[in-house]
Structure 1
Amino acid sequence: MMEKKSQNLTGKTFEVKISTKGQIVIPADIRKKIDLSEGSTLQLSLNENDEIKIQKAPTALDWANLVTEGPIEQVVFNNDGTINSTKSPTFASWMDDDE
């Protein structure tokens, strides 16, 4: 049996209709791609252009995996609430990675 390649859905547009109850159906290709199933939680937000953003809400496992990526060291804060990069250099470096 031939394995099905993962589809690249980035940039692809799907049209959906809103039901009388305000519900929409998320196309199966998208549900499969981001592992959505019955009971999955989504987050919706509206930007200044009235564009709706829908994203999968992080699960407890997602948060647990994020925490395991962090450095293990005692975190020391300065009096102003910033991280003391001298006493907690690994954590300070990790926090600066996103900037």
Structure 2
Amino acid sequence: MAYMCNYMISIPNAGQQANGTIHDRRTKLKVKAFDLFKSRAKQQEGEVRYFVTAGNQLLAFETEGYKRHRQLLILQMISRYCVYLGLMEAQIHSSYPI
């Protein structure tokens, strides 16, 4: 687990860094990351989803426990996770990138 400001990142398997969870300790919001090429997860009702493109990678990030949190908080959590993974060229999209 890695701590970044108020965020904690947990990654279950060392080889599967795209399947981690970002935790905001203050608001208790979680944002789960998953690789869209390896997962077919459907968006949960009431949750918010963002997409990240970086080179040939396509990641999705979905909130867990969303209660009208500020969009900026979610975007900061995603950007910190991308920095942690070394995806400096990452671009965050609010809809599925075509």
Q: Classify the TM-score, shorter chain.
A: under 0.3
Task: Report the TM-score when normalising by structure 2.
Answer: 0.26
Which structure is larger by alpha-carbon Rg, 1 or 2?
Answer: 1
Structure with the higher fraction of residues in strand conformation: 2
Task: Report the TM-score when normalising by structure 1.
Answer: 0.26
Structure with the higher fraction of residues in helix conformation: 1
